[in-house]
Amino acid sequence: MEYRQLGRTGVKVSALCLGCMIFGGRTTPEDSYAIIDRALDAGINFLDTANVYSRGRSEEATGEALKRNGKRQRVVLATKVHGIMDDDPNAQGTSRRHIIEQCEASLRRLQTDYIDLYQIHRPRPETVCVKCL
């Protein structure tokens, strides 16, 4: 497996990242665990999910797989925030409130005490780039 630097972090990630979007939805939990195990056995160490994928069930399946195989420490785990999580108008977007609530919820669903890469899933249109003005 080829590994590359993740930005300026000093962390090396596999050139291939396993996208976990369909876990907890179209993929059964057992199949999700098997896919993750197979990817890790092949040298992939970079997993990507998001809070909104299957309304959190993707993170749950990913977290459970890492708990079962005991390989959380070997994985660079990425997740994202932005999508609508329920009918509360504040349960979406990139407000400080939503980011903090969803980060805590993602940590619970992923069954971990840290997220290696936390990303905003969509650009925030109301944020203006100072350099662009």
Tens of pLDDT, residue by residue over 2-50, are 999 999 999 999 999 999 999 999 999 999 999 999 999 999 999 999 9
Is the pLDDT at 132 greater than 70, yes or no?
no
Global confidence as pTM:
0.89
- Can you read off the two tokens belonging to residue 113? 């005490």
Domain count, the chain: 1
Domain range for 89 is 3-132
**Is 114 a catalytic site residue?**
no
Is the pLDDT at 121 greater than 80, yes or no?
no
Give the Cα-Cα-Cα angle 41, 21, 32 (nearest 5 degrees): 45
Average pLDDT value over all residues in the chain: 91
Q: Under 8 Å CB-to-CB from 14, ≥6 apart: which residues?
A: 1, 2, 3, 4, 43, 44, 45, 46
CATH code: domain of residue 104 = 3.20.20.100
Catalytic residue among 3, 33, 53, 118: 53
What pLDDT does residue 124 have?
Answer: 65
Average pLDDT over residues 127-133: 54
